[in-house]
Amino acid sequence: MLLSLLLLLLLVRASQASHFLGTMMTYYPEETFADGSVSVILRYKLNFVSCVDSDAWQCNGNCGAQTQTLGLSVVQEVSGEWCQREGAITRLLPNNTGFETLLAGGDWINSIQNGIVSWRAVTAVEMRNRSDIGKPNTSPQTTILPALRIPSNCAKNINLLAFDPDGDKVRCRYGNTSASECDPCTPPSVLSVSSNCSLPFSPTYSNTELHYAVQLVIEDFPTQNMNLIQTDGSQVVKTTNDAISKIPLQFVLKVGPPVPSCEDGAYLPRFLPPTPENRAQLFAPAGQALVINIRAEATQSVITGLLYSGPYNAVKNSSGSGNFSLTWTPSASEDGQSHPICFVVQANYSNTLLHSDLRCVIVTVGNSPTTTPIPIVVSTNQTTEQTTEAPTTTTTTTTTPIPIVVSTNQTTEQTTVAITTATTTPTTLASTEANVTTSAPGPQYIIALNMMISTTLSLGNNSDYIITLIKNKLIEKGLPSTISLRLLSSGLVAVTTASP
């Protein structure tokens, strides 16, 4: 009898072994009631080799009652490699004391190089009322694919998405074994982590595929000292050095054989417009479909598909090699929430799978904020050519108003700019404000372009996204794709063109 029981335990253990590829969890407070009780929704993703594998989160502390559970729904499955599913749990807490959730079991997939066998992930949920925003805390928002691929000879940065709806400072670190945040927490030898959630990869030049378990903890820190106020009136001070909450982010890094070139767009897919920039913030009113168009190229490999992580009911479509779209229609219950979507484009070279850089966007459910006019000036320092000779030919100038429209999915922003073209010898270039002057036969330059854009975005908080929109529109109007833009301290946007 004892032998039979032992064999049964071994069989159960074998059926659970070598199939885990990580997890993540975020949380969003829902409602605070008159009696002091609060409700919170926890969203999580489980990554296993197969869609039949599973595990359950356990609750410790002020767990209250589990009032609703959204069963696991498949986000995306890559047959024989991984399956990501999304679930949600709603809890009604008797008061706003925090609690922890724990996911623990075994084992990770085979051949993990950094010695991780069992899985363990912890979420610390903070529900006390914040004195700075007058409501409970929302965790950082993030997501990740179960596995990311990097060739062993390519130095790359994995730029993770870590966004906080409360405006807190978000920091990333590896899990701590002494804090029981993983079991164990040995970091991958090929990756380092910065507090701004960038993971630089150090090339290994290995000819075989190597797997590493990446076990991260993401925390939010207030931007100024504030108090956490409990239902009974007691308060705790949180400084800018004190984490408010923490969430896990775990996945597998697959380091593959070397490629002949690490340049994006050759063997490794490169994103092209109209793909949103990394960390772009999009808006989608409840009940209305948001379409994210994604385009990529790889001249020396074959693009085979789009891999993504986001809401389980997002729909992927393909319209030819390198052209994809993700469509998501948020529900009314998600109004006011922010949802991350991350994706890579996958290619095949000589039976080796390759990934583009990771790109992520943040989708806020609801109408965009009230539009505010933001004056933006685009200029360059390239006001003269290398020679100082005066022009020797007659200049013919024509001016044509060209409308420039910048779209942010939720609002159309339009301005009309007068563009002046001039035919001169390639010497000095004269210019006037609000004109774009070009010389023939030499290259084209923007000398000064004065634009007024009505936008829903804050220049201080969304400068990268605004600059990207301007750049894409300038490229559409004929400027080279090599132009680069940067924000000046005065609020101006400077444009430069790379040398041929």
Strands (DSSP E) along 388-492, which ranges?
396-407, 412-423, 448-455, 483-487
Q: Can you tell me the distance from the alpha carbon of 471 to that of 481, in angstroms, rounded to the nearest whole number?
A: 8
Within its chain, how far is the Cα of 458 from the centroid? 19
Q: Can you tell me the distance from the alpha carbon of 98 to that of 53, in angstroms, rounded to the nearest whole number?
A: 30
Q: Can you tell me the distance from the alpha carbon of 235 to that of 226, in angstroms, rounded to the nearest whole number?
A: 10
How many structural domains does the chain have? 2
Q: What confidence score (pLDDT) does residue 493 get?
A: 54
DSSP 76-119: EEETTTEEEEEEEEEEEESSS--EEEEEEEE-BPTTBTT---EE
Q: Can you tell me the distance from the alpha carbon of 143 to that of 125, in angstroms, rounded to the nearest whole number?
A: 17
Considering the domain boundaries, does residue 9 fall inside one? no
pLDDT at 14 over 80: no
Whether 335 and 421 map to the same domain: the answer is no
Which tokens in the block code for residue 301? 């490999």
Q: What confidence score (pLDDT) does residue 233 get?
A: 94
Whether 388 and 337 map to the same domain: the answer is no
Q: For the segment 353-369, what is each residue's pLDDT rounded down to a tens digit?
A: 999 999 999 999 998 76
Whether 235 and 293 map to the same domain: the answer is yes
Query: Of the candidates 330, 350, 365, which is a domain's last residue?
Result: 365
Lowest mean pLDDT among 78-82, 248-252, 407-411: 407-411
Whether 62 and 125 map to the same domain: the answer is yes
Whether 98 and 138 map to the same domain: the answer is yes
- Of 118 and 449, the structure prediction assigns the larger pLDDT to 118
Which tokens in the block code for residue 313? 């009911």
Considering the domain boundaries, does residue 446 fall inside one? yes
Percent of the chain scoring above 70 in pLDDT: 71
pLDDT at 262 over 50: yes
Beta carbons within 8 Å of 198's beta carbon, 6+ residues apart: 157, 158, 159, 160
Query: Of the candidates 336, 365, 394, which is a domain's last residue?
Result: 365
Q: For the segment 151-186, what is each residue's pLDDT rounded down to a tens digit?
A: 999 999 999 999 999 999 999 999 999 999 999 999
Beta carbons within 8 Å of 371's beta carbon, 6+ residues apart: 411, 413, 454, 455, 456
Whether 314 and 400 map to the same domain: the answer is no
pLDDT at 113 over 90: yes
Whether 41 and 59 map to the same domain: the answer is yes
CA distances from 156 to 30, 161, 199, 346, 459 (A): 39, 16, 8, 16, 29
Lowest mean pLDDT among 29-43, 100-114, 375-389: 375-389
Q: Is 286 helix (H, G, I), strand (E, B) or coil?
A: coil
Within its chain, how far is the Cα of 49 from the centroid? 24
Q: Binning pLDDT at 50, 70 and 90, where does residue 101 land?
A: very high
Q: What confidence score (pLDDT) does residue 481 get?
A: 59
Whether 125 and 240 map to the same domain: the answer is yes
Within its chain, how far is the Cα of 151 from the centroid? 21
Q: What confidence score (pLDDT) does residue 227 get?
A: 98
Q: For the segment 300-351, what is each residue's pLDDT rounded down to a tens digit?
A: 999 999 999 999 999 999 998 899 999 999 999 899 999 999 999 999 999 9
Lowest mean pLDDT among 358-362, 468-472, 492-496: 492-496
CA distances from 481 to 86, 300, 440 (A): 38, 21, 19
Whether 113 and 155 map to the same domain: the answer is yes
pLDDT at 138 over 80: yes
Q: What average pLDDT score do residues 419-427 get?
A: 35
Angle at 366 between CA 362 and CA 368, to 5 degrees: 80
Q: What confidence score (pLDDT) does residue 458 get?
A: 57
Q: Are 51 and 85 in contact (CB under 8 A)?
A: yes
Q: Are 354 and 255 in contact (CB under 8 A)?
A: no
Q: Binning pLDDT at 50, 70 and 90, where does residue 106 land?
A: confident
Considering the domain boundaries, does residue 88 fall inside one? yes
The Cβ of residue 492 has, within 10 Å, a number of other Cβ atoms equal to: 14
Q: What confidence score (pLDDT) does residue 368 get?
A: 73
Q: What confidence score (pLDDT) does residue 464 get?
A: 63
Q: Binning pLDDT at 50, 70 and 90, where does residue 192 land?
A: very high
Whether 378 and 357 map to the same domain: the answer is no
Give which of 164, 211, 218 is closest to 18, Cα–Cα. Answer: 211
Q: Are 330 and 364 in contact (CB under 8 A)?
A: no
Q: Can you tell me the distance from the alpha carbon of 86 to that of 73, in angstroms, rounded to the nearest whole number?
A: 5
- Of 14 and 463, the structure prediction assigns the larger pLDDT to 463
Considering the domain boundaries, does residue 11 fall inside one? no
Considering the domain boundaries, does residue 412 fall inside one? yes
Which tokens in the block code for residue 417? 């700019």
- Of 463 and 237, the structure prediction assigns the larger pLDDT to 237
Secondary structure element (H or E) that encloses residue 433, with its range: none
Whether 377 and 446 map to the same domain: the answer is yes
pLDDT at 407 over 50: no
Considering the domain boundaries, does residue 1 fall inside one? no
Query: Of the candidates 365, 400, 416, which is a domain's last residue?
Result: 365
Lowest mean pLDDT among 214-218, 445-449, 464-468: 445-449
Q: What confidence score (pLDDT) does residue 460 get?
A: 54
Bridge partner residues of 365 (DSSP): 284
Q: Which amino acid is at 88?
A: A
Percent of the chain scoring above 90 in pLDDT: 67
Q: Can you tell me the distance from the alpha carbon of 149 to that of 171, in angstroms, rounded to the nearest whole number?
A: 24
pTM as predicted: 0.73
Domain that holds residue 436: 372-497
Average pLDDT, the chain: 81
Whether 242 and 304 map to the same domain: the answer is yes
Q: What confidence score (pLDDT) does residue 405 get?
A: 38
Lowest mean pLDDT among 188-202, 395-409, 461-475, 485-499: 395-409
Considering the domain boundaries, does residue 13 fall inside one? no
Q: What average pLDDT score do residues 487-500 get?
A: 51
Considering the domain boundaries, does residue 134 fall inside one? yes
Q: What confidence score (pLDDT) does residue 221 get?
A: 98
CA distances from 36 to 32, 68, 94, 109, 495 (A): 7, 20, 7, 44, 54
Strands (DSSP E) along 94-209, which ranges?
99-106, 118-125, 129-130, 147-151, 157-159, 169-174, 198-200
